[in-house]
């Protein structure tokens, strides 16, 4: 499949169809037999750490390694806190005291701070309350337009897919496209 710059693909499909597996392979987190290209450059020719800065993945439950929120966010992400409905007071909170939805909104800020070219969202906003979910989507869209970031949303939510996606794929049907203008090409 291919993903163009600033394109949004929504992937749906039954549980266990391999959607998460596919995204984890795209970010090179699990061993796989495929190959990915970003702007025509193969992932395998690139340092894995560099690849993961360009292609970022947010799982349904984001992981946090330090105690406080402030340990995870840089100055750019701190400035963007209001865009996902937070004030600066969140910075001194312990990550484990936050709700799953709150953590996901912060995970988006943390991800965007690295300025990825491709963002992979694996049910990343599913645990967020409806109002903040819209804010989450708006921020993704804004970054997408400003920086021509490509986004893949894996979601069961048909309305979410309708709001955000420029193209929709059902996962039972893998497509391979040879568009040379593609931002991300994958065959995994």
Partner 1 sequence: MTLIPLTPWQLALAAVLLLILVMLSIPLRLQLGQQMVVAAVRTTVQLLLVGLVLEIIFGDISPLWILFMALFMVLAAGYEVHQRQHYRLTHGWGLGIGTGAMFISSFSITLIALTAILNHDPWYEPQYAIPLLGMLLGNTMNGISLGLDRLNSTVWQQRYQIEARLLMGHSANDAIGDIRRDSIRTGLIPIINSMAAAGIISLPGMMTGQILSGTSPMEAVKYQILIMFLIAAGTGYGTIAAVTLGSRRLFDDRQRLRLDRLRPTT
Query: Exposed, middle or buried by CB within 10 Å (0-12, 13-18, 19+), for 13?
Result: middle
Query: How many angstroms from the chain centroid is the CA of residue 165?
Result: 13
CA distance 24 to 22: 5
Residues that bind partner 1 (CB under 8 A): 27-31, 48-50, 52-53, 56-57, 59, 61-65, 110, 114
In the bound complex, what is the minimum distance in angstroms from residue 156's beta carbon to partner 1?
21
Smaller CB separation from partner 1, 59 or 150: 59
Smaller CB separation from partner 1, 29 or 98: 29
8 A C-beta contact, residue 52 and residue 118: no
CA distance 156 to 9: 13
Smaller CB separation from partner 1, 26 or 161: 26
In the bound complex, what is the minimum distance in angstroms from residue 162's beta carbon to partner 1?
28
In the bound complex, what is the minimum distance in angstroms from residue 50's beta carbon to partner 1?
7
In the bound complex, what is the minimum distance in angstroms from residue 114's beta carbon to partner 1?
7
């Amino acid at each position: 499949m291919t993903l163009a710059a600033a394109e949004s693909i929504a992937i749906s499909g039954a549980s266990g169809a391999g959607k998460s597996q596919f995204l984890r392979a795209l970010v090179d987190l699990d061993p796989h037999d495929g190959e990915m290209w970003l702007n025509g450059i193969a992932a395998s020719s690139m340092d894995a750490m560099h690849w993961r800065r360009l292609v970022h993945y947010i799982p349904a439950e984001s992981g946090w390694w330090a105690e406080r929120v402030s340990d995870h966010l840089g100055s750019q992400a701190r400035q963007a806190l209001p865009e996902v409905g937070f004030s600066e007071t969140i910075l001194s909170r312990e990550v484990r005291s936050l709700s799953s939805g709150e953590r996901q909104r912060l995970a988006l800020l943390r991800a965007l701070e690295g300025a990825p070219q491709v963002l992979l969202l694996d049910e990343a906003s599913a645990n967020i309350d409806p109002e903040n979910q819209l804010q989450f989507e708006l921020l993704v869209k804004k970054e997408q337009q400003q920086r021509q970031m490509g986004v893949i949303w894996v979601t069961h939510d048909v309305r979410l897919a309708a709001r955000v996606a420029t193209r929709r794929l059902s996962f039972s049907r893998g497509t391979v496209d040879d568009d040379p203008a593609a931002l991300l090409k994958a065959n995994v």
